[in-house]
Amino acid sequence: MLRQFRPQRSLAKQPISRLLAAWQEPSRSYSIHANAASTAKIQDIDPSKLTITKTKAPKELIPASELVFGRSFTDHMLSIEWTASEGWLAPRITPYQNLSLDPASCVFHYAFECFEGMKAYKDSNGKVRLFRPTKNMERMNKSSARIALPTFDQAAMIKLISQFSQMEERFIPSTKGYSLYLRPTMIGTQKTLGVGPPGSALLYVIASPVGPYYPTGFKAISLEATNYAVRAWPGGVGDKKLGANYAPCIVPQLEAAKRGFHQNLWLFGEEEFVTEVGTMNMFAAIKNKETGQKELITAPLDGTILEGVTRDCVLSLAREKLVPEGWKVLERKYTMKELSEAAQEGRLLEAFGAGTAAIVSPIRNICWKGDMVDCGLRPEEEAGELASKMKNWIEARQYGDEEHEWSYTVPE
């Protein structure tokens, strides 16, 4: 009977002489390595194998008003190791702890890293809820596959994240605007400077109790339109949640900050298409020049735009609630010139960013080529009508005030 060749160790770890021998004498490889000869399906994530080791030193809770985004973490972490030969090993919840990695681990050299940002909420009955977790797991699999990291069973991972969130329940603030930010992360752990697909990986989830993303709270931000640096490009990986997309944006952010701006508005190409704002998707509400119809516009998912979960929420809610009021919802390319003209003609009604961390972030103005493009807020206003409505509509579903399929109640 023909048996499938399944190397016991990753190919990259095997000496060349052994690999050559395997090619020349395949029958010998099959017969002398029992595991290698196994036809067993490579193991996917199995929540029933979860082991839990509880911390002996529970942390003190930080008062909600003192929380700083992503600075403090819960008592535990969830980790699942993967090897090319065995697949996903047994999941573990352990006390939150440092990782021990070989300095040659491929994550440190070739940026084998992707992550997700999602949140757990406490509803008015004290129940823990995840918001659209399937969207995050789908996107994480797309990100990991793009950088040759392993993919996983999404339902199994949601089950584990639910158990983990329930276990960390005491860290979830009940106050509106507060939640537990979950950070699923995958890294390539194989010890090699060779450039190739990682033969081993680690998927882990840490959790941080959070309040409003910006220390200023729900306040309008000022942007610098950035055309000298590019966040993403056609055929690149700007639509994936890779750590490697974020680090190169920090220097332009610091440059913008030096000139007094909170974030960059990322433009692309000679046409200066508007793409994203900081780490968020960008939305503009404009009155159409010809028809006078109100339009909510965002850039299309052309491979340069992150498939934001909040972006999807804003679009769905706009189609559900604004279209019946006469709005048009458009996913199309638009330029900085278009925004500037609309502002000059009093047709730029509002602009805001949308992302998991901030949910909705209203924009006051955009500095473009030395001019200030006013985004329609009155001086005393911190958010436009649309941004405020969107935030409220989304939060109602996140906290379970409005029962909706986007909210997943974690079993106790």
Q: Which stretch binds ligand COI (CB under 6 A): 28-36, 193-201, 354-362, 377-385?
A: 354-362
In angstroms, the CA 139 to CA 133 distance is: 10
CB of 192: closest distance to ligand COI in angstroms? 28
Q: In sequence order, what E strands does 103-178 have?
A: 113-115, 118-122, 128-131
CB of 141: closest distance to ligand COI in angstroms? 17
DSSP string, 80-91: EEEETTTEE---
In angstroms, the CA 205 to CA 183 distance is: 5
Q: Which stretch binds ligand COI (CB under 6 A): 33-41, 355-363, 385-393, 402-410?
A: 355-363
| 356 binds ligand COI per the rule CB under 6 A | yes
Strand 263-268 relative to strand 221-226, pairing = parallel
In angstroms, the CA 118 to CA 179 distance is: 10
215, two tokens: 């220390």
**Pattern 264-303, binding to ligand COI, x per CB under 6 A?**
---------------xx-----------------------
Q: Which stretch binds ligand COI (CB under 6 A): 33-41, 218-226, 257-265, 349-357?
A: 349-357
Q: Which stretch binds ligand COI (CB under 6 A): 106-114, 160-168, 322-330, 352-360?
A: 352-360
110, two tokens: 């070739």
CB of 69: closest distance to ligand COI in angstroms? 7
Residues in the chain: 412
Q: Which stretch binds ligand COI (CB under 6 A): 126-134, 220-228, 322-330, 353-361?
A: 353-361
Instruction: Map the footprint of ligand COI across residues 357-376, applying CB under 6 A.
Output: 357-358
Note whether 166 and 151 are within 8 A (CB): no
Name which position in 211, 355, 376, 384 contacts ligand COI (CB under 6 A): 355
Q: How many chain residues bind ligand COI (CB under 6 A)?
A: 7
Name which position in 7, 47, 91, 117 contacts ligand COI (CB under 6 A): 117
CB of 135: closest distance to ligand COI in angstroms? 12
Please report, as a single letter, which amino acid is at residue 288. N
207, two tokens: 């959790």
Question: Which residue number is nearest to ligand COI in terms of Cβ?
Answer: 355
Residue closer to ligand COI (CB basis): 311 or 364: 311
| 210 binds ligand COI per the rule CB under 6 A | no
CB of 257: closest distance to ligand COI in angstroms? 16
Residue closer to ligand COI (CB basis): 203 or 358: 358
Q: What is the DSSP letter of 191?
A: B
Q: Which stretch binds ligand COI (CB under 6 A): 30-38, 253-261, 356-364, 367-375?
A: 356-364
CB of 383: closest distance to ligand COI in angstroms? 17
Cross-strand partners of 113: 187
Long-range own/partner contacts, residues 345-349 (CB < 8 A, 24 or more apart): 345/289, 347/286, 347/287, 347/288, 347/289, 348/284, 348/285, 348/286, 348/373, 348/374, 348/375, 348/376, 349/285, 349/286, 349/287, 349/294, 349/376, 349/384, 349/386
| 179 binds ligand COI per the rule CB under 6 A | no
3-state helix, strand, coil in the chain (%, to 5): 30, 25, 45
Positions touching ligand COI (CB under 6 A) are 117, 279-280, 355-358
